[in-house]
Structure formats: structure tokens, C-alpha cells
Structure 1
Amino acid sequence: MRFSSITALKLFLLHLFTLFTNLQAYTPVNNFTINCGSTGTSYDGETTWTGDTASMFLSHQDSTVSANPTPPQSNSTLQLPYTTARISRSQFNYSFPVTPGSYFLRLFFYPASYPSFPSTQASFTVHCNHFTLFYGFSTDEDDTETIFREYVVNVDNGETLNLSFTPSQPNSHALINGIQVFSIPTDLYYTSPHHAGFKLVGTHTLYRVTSDTALHAQYRVKVGVQGISPPKDTGLFRNLVAGDEHYLIKEKNPNNNGEMNITLHHGSVAPKVLYRTERITKRSPKLTWNFPVDSGFYYLVRLHFCELDQNITNIGDRVFCVYIGSDLAEDHAEVLRWSNQLKGLAVQRNFVVLIPKNDTQEKVNLSLQLHPYLNSSNPCLNGLEIFKISDSNILAGPNAQNGIAFEERRNGMAVGKRRNVLSVEKRRNKHKISIAGMVFVLVSVSSVGFVFRWARSMFNPRSFSTNAHKLSTNAHQQSTDAEELPVNTLICLRFSLVEIKAATNNFDDASVVGVGGFGHVYRGFIRRIFIPVTLKLFKPGSNEIEVAIKRHKPGSKQGSEEFLNEIEMLSQLRHRNIVPLIGYCNSNKEMILVYNFMARGNLREHLYNSDKPPLPWKRRLQICIDAAHALHYLHCCAQTYTIIHSDVKTTNILLDEEWVAKVSDFGLSRIGPTGDSKSNVCTTPVKGSFGYIDPEYYKRQHLTEKSDVYSFGVVLFEVLCARPPLIRTAEPREESLGNWVRYCHQNGTIAQILDPTLKGKIAPNCFRVFCQIGLSCLSEIGSQRPSMNDVVWMLKNALKLQESADITEAHSNSQNPLSS
């Protein structure tokens, strides 16, 4: 009796506390509810919507139209905001002046046909501030289902919440039917600054979901047959759908214990009604759900529990294990213990799980299993939420879902950055993560060992053997892209100085094929006896391989730091568009690097100041696409960090015998930090090549992946105009290619600076798109530049436009052979 009285008193006091502190409905600081394409205000019975016509939030409104869906509609009972839409064939933006904090961003789409805008032409990309929400929205001709997307984003001091809708192709259009921007408690989904983090499933590691990421709500499920509509939420207007049985593997209906009082510690986490129904297994001892998700992302999984069973009274009555994926997430789950034996007290458990990349399936299952302990009551669950966590500011997945087709996001080996890892354990993939003060997550322990062994060898050359040194890569990194080389080629060899001298005829000047910032580059041949057969570098019937040998020149501005950097980077990278490093030599204080020889030299040699014939336009386009692929791989896919090349220029884009472009020279490359910064900013003294250097980097010494994007924009116009990036003897206005291009664009004279050999050979649409790509890369503000993934996609589109024009022209000429 005494125990019961104490428990009752604790419950009563807890009820009073939560009643007056936490359980009041949340009142948002900012709340924007926009009915796109309409005027005035309208009410749907739950929400008051405001039209965006003549709205201060909408920019470029003159280029947009408001429209109603074209009848007939299979969905005859459309409700707000799906009855009108804002549509345009050019980019349009919304900007919401909000206070700093976290927000729900809700987007409503009805991808039907509208007057002059057929549904089959809807294809666009959506960005929110620096996040890419999805690529290439597209629909089937008979797709008349409404689409709802919910995101969680954070806005910092001095920022606004900006949304952009950009058509993917010249004849495609972008559309939006409704927008909600709704402030939420900062720690509702992001990890609180005072919280260590959520468990990363499969490890003993904690993961912080920090405010520099964005979240995409994948599933928000209440068990049972009756969901929770937005007005019944705690003031956050979330929609918790019923029907967990759609994902449940063979189970009966849930139990309903609706009479018990429910107590919440945090009034915003979930509404009380969520906890009135629980799923308890009847037939089999375990519960299993499968939720289809995109691979290659981390997911936040929030499980909601509340002990409702009157027969569960003591610790140990209901104990179970929680498995997410194939890994144990919670070994001794017990709701009554979590709630300090308070029946009816709602509790939540948060986990983060990595779903490895899988290129063979459109969707993979994120499985959730609850297994009971022996002689324990069967497990229970009241509800769950699953959020995709952005990776490299990207939430777009590689697959199609509900009519949204996504562009392939990554071409590389690693799944993504792991900026938020706090503590460490050996993972299933045999990675070891080293922590010393700040958290540095290194790709491979063996490659780290190599770095230190190499450093010692600079002072004691004998410490290295002359055998090949295999630099290990991430065990889980598999070749998932056709542009990557096989994993068994990830080998870096150490050559003796005798072997190098033999290959270059004792560094004969006649073998010199180039001079760079590091030193001279020699053309040479290495005999098969010096290279393992497993490298597969030889042509059939050949006993030697043609190589480029880069020898450090004493007094060069580049030295041991760049030499070490090149080995460290290239020994871990293999991609079709990155020049492969075969090996190195560091004997007798020499610093020598050995690469595959690129038969056609560098790109600049084929553009100007050379007697080589000019490149045709489509070949130039393909070379640009190849180089963009390489940079995208470095920024997003190469390993757990962003790699910033920091010296992108035409002389560092090499061409092999088949005209395949390969990015080279990683001596100045940097790895982006793993801190809580919003982007991969590396503060470093300015290095690079004048004419290509990002203005933001030059002024602030902040190197980011967008610095590479700026340099690549200069390369694009170097390819288009066939002129150097910097001409000191030119008029001040024309001295810098980047500045000159922007000036000509503003005056409508950009066609006048085109390479004369290309005049009349570029399709107008292709020319327009190519210039738009280059100009966007040259934006003065780094955050406004596209990602390299976007650049790849846009360049491919430009190539398609050129090929289509060529086909049309060829067909026209075949019909009228005398016209020419």
C-alpha cells in the first residue's frame, strides 16, 4: 500500500508539473502558410492560407503564372492548397524573413497538367538555403496524386529562409502549390548542445544531429488503424498516419488501452493520443517492420513507448531487444525502467543508423525488430518517426518515389561525411577512428601508417623496402560506379632511384614533356619486371608501361608538403577521371612521383598558344563533363571527408589517348574539417593560380568546395573563349577572364568573345545553357554557386541539346542535300 501511495503521489505531482510547464500547445514564433497561385486568404476548415500573388515573399513573380489544374481530374475533391499553383519555366524564389531557429518546411505539390503546362514537362530542382531538397522532380502523364514533403531546417542569425525552384531543362517548368514555414523547438529533432548525442547503431559511438544539417521526414507512424490529424497535434500540426501494418511482417491488430492517463515530459515531442495505442505481438514472439528508404544516408529513428498494460507492474515484466537493420540498437529495452516505474509515462528512444549505399535496388529496407527476452512479456511499440539526415547538404536520394525522380547523387566510394561522430569503436567494416582532442575521422589506419613511415623515410631512406606498398581503402567502399577503377588497382609502389633513372635515361632533357610548380615532368618507360602483374597497367603484348615522372626541383615553391599531400590523396583515390598515381621515389632526398602517361597532354595545349588543331565543340563539352565528374567525386564521394582540389585549371586537366579527361596535381589539395561549421571551410593561406582563385578565398582565406566551383567556371569560359584566364597586357576590363565574361554578359555581348573557330558550330540553346552554367559558377558569393553534382547534370543537358541540334541539322541536310 505504501508503494502504491508513493507512486500515485509521484504521478499526481508529475501531472501538475507537466500541466503548467510543458503540455501547453506550442505557439510558433514564425508561421507562414502560403497558398501558391492564389490571392487573398482562404480557409480549409483547419488552416488559414495566404495567397502569394503580389506577395513580398515571392521574387521574379513576373516570370511566373498562377494556374488551376486542367480538368478532368481524377481527384475531384481537391482541397487547399492543391487547387492552385505557381508555375514558371524559369527559376523563381520565395524568401521568408524569420528569426533564428529551427523550422518545419512543408511543400505541397499537385503534379497535374495546367493550362500551357502539361504534367510531362514538370521537371525541376528545389533548394532551401544551401540544401538541395531534391533533383529533377518529374511525373508520369497520368500521375494525379498529391505529393507532400516535410523537412526540418535551421536558420542562423542574419539569415532568411530562401526557397528556389529551378526548371531542369529549357522546356520544362517548376511548380509549387503550397508552402508552410513553421518554427519549432530547436531541440525537437536536433541534438541539444547539452546532450552527448544519439546512439549510432552498430557501434558504441554517439552521433550528434547538428543544426547545420537538414532532415527529411520519411515516416511518422502511429500504430493502429486511426492516425492523428494535424489539428490534434501539440501545436506543431504534424500528421501521424495510421497503418503501421503496411510495414509490419505478419502481425495482428494492436491493443488499445485508451482509458489510461498519459503523461508527457516534453509537450512537443508527440501528442498524448499517440500513446493510447500500442502494438504487442500475439502470434510470434517478435515484431518486425520494414520501411523502404534511400541508401547511402544516415537516418534518425525515434521510437515512442508508453507502458499501458495493467498486468505489467514490476521491473523485468517486459524486457526486449531493439534491432535496427541487422544490428542491435538497444540490448535491454524496458519501458517501465525508463519511466522510473511510472505507468502511462511516455518515453522516447533516439537512434541514428547508416543505410549503406546499394546501387542494385531502387529502395532498401530499414528494418526494425523488437525481440523479447526469455520468460518476458512480448515487446510493444506505440509509434515511430524516421528522418533522413542530409549528407554534404544534399537530401535528394538516388531513386524515384511517388513520382519524384532523383538524379544520381554520388559516383564515389564513400557513403558520406561522418562529421558528427563523437566517440569511437571498431566498426563492422574494420574502420578504426582515432580521436585526440578534436575529432578527426581518417579513412584508413593503414594509409595513416604509410604517411608516418614515409615521413621517417625522408630522414632514413633505408626504413623503406623496395617492395610495393598496398594502401588499404575503406573495407566497405566498393566500386559502385562505372567510372571507378577496380579496387585491386589501389596500389602505390615505391621505386628506387635506379629504376627512375633507367626510365628517364638518367633524366635526359629530351625526355622532358612539361614543367610545373613542382618541377619537371619526364616521359619514361618502366619495364614489367618492376611492376606487379596485378596492377594490369600494361597493354597486351607489351613489356613496359609508359609513365609520366614528376621530379621535384630544388628551390621550387612546392616541396615536401605537396609531395606528401599528393601521395596521401592519390593513393586513396581511384576514379576514371582522376589521373592514377603508380608510385613514388624518395631515395637520396629526391621527391619523385610516377603517373600513367597522358598521351594528349593537358587541356590548355588544345585551346590556345599551340599549333595543335582546335578541338571540336562536343569534344570540349565532354572534357568539361569528365573534369566535373572528378571534382564531384572529390567533393562528395571520395572518402569520409570533402576533398578540395584548390588548383583547378586547364593545365591540371590531362587527356589520355582516347580523349578522356583526368584531373591531376593534388599537391595543394585540402581535406575539409569535421567541425560543426555549416560548410566545409578550411582556413588556409591563399595558394593556387592567379586568374582561377575564388574571390572569397582570396579575401577571407576560407577555402571551400565552392572555391573549386569558381575555378571550374573559369575553366569553362577558357574552353569556350580559347583565351588565358589572365592577360596582364590587356585593357583593365579584359585582363581577368572571369570579370570580362561577366561584363560581356551584362551587356549582351558574350557571343563576341567566343573562340572564332567555334562560331556557327554551337547550337543556340546549348550556348545559352553553357554560359548560364559558367556564370553561376563565377558567382561572387560562394553559397550561390552550384554544387559540382549540379554542374555535371547541367553540362550533360547542354551536351544533349547540342546532339539534338546536330541530329536535326543532319536530318534537314539529308532532306535538302543541295541546300548547303
Structure 2
Amino acid sequence: MTAGKFIFLIWVSLNLCLMCVSLGFVPDDSILIDCGSLKSTRVGDRVFVADNSTSYMFTTSEIILAKTNSTSIPSSIDSILYHTARIFNTSSDYKFPIKRQGRHWIRLYFFPFNHENYNMSHAKFSVSAQNITLLKDFQIESGYLLREYSLNITSNNLVLTFLPSSDSFAFINAIEFFSLPEELIPESARSISSQGHNQSLRNQALETVARVNMGNEIVSPQNDTLWRLWVSDFNYLKDKNLAKFESNVKAVNFTRRGPTENIAPALVYGTLTRLHSEVDSKFIANMTWHFDVDPGFEYLVRFHFCDILNLSPGSLVFNVYINSWLVSRLDLGILTSNILGAPYFMDAITKTTDNGKLNISLGTSNIGENPSPDAILNGLEIMKISNSKNSLVWDSKTTSKMKVGIIVGLVTGVVVVILAIAVIVFLLCRKRKHVVHTKAEEAFAVCEMENKYSKETAIFSKSKLGYSFPLVVLQEATDNFSENLVIGIGGFGKVYKGALRDGTKVAVKRGASESQQGLAEFRTEIEMLTQFRHRHLLSLIGYCNEQNERIIIYEYMENGTLKNHLYGHDLPCLRWRQRLEICIGSARGLHYLHTGSAKAIIHRDVKSANILLDENFMAKVADFGLSKTGPEIDETHISTAVKGSFGYLDPEYLLTQQLTEKSDVYSFGVVMFEVICGRPVIDPSLPREKVNLVEWVMKCNQQGLIEEILDPPLVGQIKPDSLQKFVEIAEKCLAERGTYRPTMGDVLWNLEYALQIQEYNKVSVSDLVGVSMSKVFAQMVREDMR
């Protein structure tokens, strides 16, 4: 052998090795067809064979091949596949031989272009494979479409059938058919809607509904070992302000025991979307992606995780939800042995609601002494599971007919039962008149009670008195707890906007079955709310405690939380006067809690998320689940376990576990800093010296740089004296020891003073103080009388 030949052989071997490495996975079965084409077509490093290839069998009544030079074909690496198509006037089959049984992918490419007598946008047809209905009466009028299916093939061949609908035809532009790695699709997965039991997928077909790469990055098919397209998550995010996109592909470390690149490529695990909000141990915010799916089906949802940023080493714990179901309280550090960049994925099966909405949510967990502020997701796949009819097609007509049939059946059954009861009662009446007479009197008494009950229900929402609601009333008010009506999520559960039959708007807080805040806090909040009524404290309307449901109903606050108006949402900016009045209203509510009864009531969770705003932006303090009755007259404090929200906790209470009203004062001081700065209490995305809001503001104030902390929209709105007074009282609230902090009454007076300074121009200080003191005193009297 000559030296030249030897070098050539080495070059060929090296190239073959490189090809194997680049491919990552070489399928046993692989048939790629450029339908309608007379020659093979190269797409990246793959070859799509011509439509007359001998690698498969094709049965049809006539051969109709189509070609177009349309400029509307999408510009992508596989766009050449949309230039040709095969058209079917009758039922036609592709028959693929199988070398290895097991999971295979079928990808179907569609692009409706015009060709002579065939306008493909008018085509209507069905597609089936292995007795599984993939498409039924399918029609695509414009654009291009790729449909992907996974079938577990247990025979020596697969028949793919195209069946035109009546007086129509079918078409296909390209087909991919190849076997999958064994580890890709599990034989079973945990079903979150059936008490966590494993559900078999062995005989089920799957259709890919969504394949999403987090981090707002697209991963193209040529960068995936299985030629998958991963789209960006940006358009699926419900609240983009809560999300932060991160990338560090070099950090991805495919360990020996973890997922391979066949599960997802490094470009997926190397980017993530991160919950970007304040640290909140009670978890009031979720990062949510919304997907529209077909109702009535179960879905396999695959989550991809990889800590590429070394977030909260050893304690990256967060919650993962599908709709209202808690999928997992995930401790990613433990699952990946705290290896930086080690990928992890998790599968779950869920069933969608009738409205076809599927929400994926992440939120920080409140478990542990130091709950992590972070929650991350790197990738997501959603796959529809074939139903009992071996179909992946949603038939809206059948669903409607079934609903009508069920309703008719129920009505008929009820009528029959009523008639039967009437006959029985009539017979009993004839046989036992004296017994019937007694029963009639009892029934009359029951009817009287029921009438009274229904009258109370009718007038309840007008009287606004606390009341025990039947669960069915709340289901009706919230459209059966529709995800579309969720207005907030907290440690207790979700809050829904609702409307009672008389039109009264309500907020319905429904305790999650997995919530760590249990029956004790449910009772505490109801008991607290029934003890007092004040225009600056959120009013209790009622509650429900049946069928293991713990639900509290409040008056509805049109403008949501103070927190949402300060940051994190695209809401109109609050003016300085509005912010002052909100602080004053909140202070009045807390002052009433501390002084309005024989024993003080300590809120214990004062924060901007628990200050709600009505349609006129009047503030009301909310969420009394952690509240405690204050100490006896001869005592200075109560000893209790530390509870509250990180960033707002009184440091003295945290160290000593001794709770006083001054703990609320400290938390309120933090809220005041949020109000003037318009940013979260903890913001890890900022430079180190600015991460902690309290420390940063204190430092700026000491250096005489107080104007640097202002929320930009407030610049030029605040009079220097008003600003100075506001910051001065907030700083006093944040004294390390409670004895050095003002009472809520003092805070209220100073806030009124700051407002008066802002409003009055030519008034002496003594006059101003007199005006403020008299106004505060008069307002306190009015509030307490209400």
C-alpha cells in the first residue's frame, strides 16, 4: 500500500468517526423521503431519498407528483423539502420495513401550494399508522407545518395510510421515519392526577405538542442528535417581568449516570429561564408558561433542569406545578449530587381541563430554614397521549354530542327518580295517614329552614357578613376554579376572581392540598377576620370547609397588590401622593390592629404583597393567616416560632423568637423603602452592594445620597422636606431593637405630616404640625367608629 493510499484511508476513517460523533445516535431504522421529488435531497448531513425509493413499498391508484417555486416557502435548513409533494386521490399506503421493534418517530411535513388542478389549501384528509389515527379530516390552508409522532412498533413493518375525505384529496411534502434511542420515551410515568401512580405508555402513541428551550433561545435541528427543533419560551411566558434568561453552555456536564444528549442537547441544558423576584419564603409569585392543548387528552410532560450558574449551592429547592397540581418539590442539588452543570429531567402525566389550558409553573419553596430564592427551568416537552379509541385527534363534535347525551340522560334519570319517589310517597300516604301527617309536619319545618337558608344566601353578599358557603356556590362563582381566573398564588394556595349570583365580585383563596399552611392557619385567618372590621383591613365575606377544601372568600380588590404596582408588572406608575396615601391607609389598618381591642393583634406578615388596593387605590391590609394575639397587659412579648417572609422579618424577633407589635413596625419600614425605591427587597441580579434594599438605602442616606434611591418616575415629584420626613420615619422603623422603634400611631402621624408638607406651600411648621395632629386624631376617631 502506497503512502498516499494509507493517508487517504486514515482521512476517511477520521471523517467517519467525526460523523458518528456528530450524529451521536445511529438509528437501526431510518427512512427519509422527499415526497414528490424525482431525486434525492440533502438536508444538512442527512439525505432524503426520492419518492420512488426501494427502501419502502408504496401503494396508490395513480402517481401524482407536484412541484413549486413559490417564494412563500419558509427560509430554513429544511425548506427545500417543501418544494415538492405527492398527491393522493384515493386511499394510499406507505409500507416501511422494521429492523428493530420499539419506539419510532414519524414526522410529516405539510405545505399547501397550488399545482395545476390541485389547490392544496383545499385538501382534506386523514392519516393513520398502526391502527392509530394521527390526523382526521385534516386541512391546512396556509403556512407550513411539521407533525411529529412516536409509536411503539411491535410488528415487522409499519403501514402509513393517507385517506382523502369525500370529494377531496390528500398530500404530503416529506416523511421522516426512524427508530429512537431506548432511553428517550419511558415505558411508564407518574400520573399526577391519579394519586401519583405510574401509568403505562407501552401501547400508547404520542404526538409532540410543544418542544421548548428556556432562556429565550432557539435550538435548530442541526444542533440536536435527533434533529429536533426547540423553540424559544418567550412567547409562552405569561409574566415576562418575573423571568430572567441565563446562558452558560460551557458549564453543561453530561455525567455517566445522567441524561445523554439524546434526551436533550447541551444547548438546551446550557440555557435557562429563572424566576426573577424577591426572596419570599411564603412563595407569592410563580413563573408560568401557558400552552393551548386539546381538551380530553392526557399529556406526558417532560421537564429539563440543569444548574449552570451554581445557584444556592446545596439548597436549590423549588416547586413545579402543572395547572393547580404540585408535580414536585424539587431539590435539584440532591438529584444531581450537587454537580455543577449536571442535567436532570423529570416526566409526569397529566389530564387537561375542558378548556384545553395547560400551565407550567415554577415557584420558590418555603421548605427549610433557608429557602432558595431561585427556581429554574431549562427545557420542556409536552406530548399528547393517544386515547382509548387509539386516536390522537380531538373531535369537538363528538365531545359536544357526548355532553348533550349526558345532560339528556341525567335529566331523564332525574325525572324517572322523581316520578318513582312520587308514586312511593302516594302509596305510603294511603297506607299510613297518621305517619304521613307527622312526616309532613317535619318536612314543613325542614322547608322553613331551607327557605331561611336560601334567603340568607341571597342577601349575604349585600350584607357582607361572614358566612359558610357551600362548595358548589364557589365552583359556580369561579367557573369551577378556572385557571383563567387566577389572580394570585401564595403559600396557602391560589386566589381566584369570582362573581356571586347577585353580581358581587369576590376573591376566593383556595387552599392547595399540598400546602404546608394547613388547617391551623385557615382557622386563624377566619377567627381574626371575624373579630374586627375596618375600612383599611380586608373584609371577610365567607369561607368553605367541606370535601377537604379550605377556602376563604374576601371582598374583591380591583387593583391588586401594592407590590405589583411598584415593580414586576406593566401597570401604571403610582404618583407620590398615591404612594403616601397608600402608606397612610396601611398604617391606619395596622394601628387599629395594635390598639383596637383589649389585646393587640400582631399581623406578623406585613409586606407589599399583603397590601391590596381597591378601585380607588385605597389600601387594605390582607392575609392574617400568621397573625397572633399580642401579650397580656403585664407582659412585654409573646414567645413563638419565627414565621413571616424573608427580607421583612424583624431581626430581633428572628434572634429571640419574642414577638411584639414592633415586629410589624419593622416590616412596615421595609415596605416604606419599597414604596420610595420601586424595587424588590432582595434583588440578586443587582451589584452586591444593592442586593439588599434596606442596607442599600441606609448606606445612601448616611452618605447624603438619598435622591439616588428614588424610583425614577418619582424624580421631580417629591418636595425635599417630604422625602426627608418619609425616609426618617422609615429608618426609625428599622431600628435593630424594638424599643427604639416608633409605634404604628407615631408612624401614622409622621406619614400624615409628610403628606401635609407635600401639599402645603406657605404654612409655618407649627401650624403644619397642628393641622397634621388634629387631622390624624380626627381620622383615627372616624376609622375606629366605622
**TM superposition score category, shorter chain reference:** 0.3 to 0.5
Q: Compute the TM-score of the two structures, normalised by the length of structure 1.
A: 0.45
| Structure having the larger proportion of residues in helix | 2
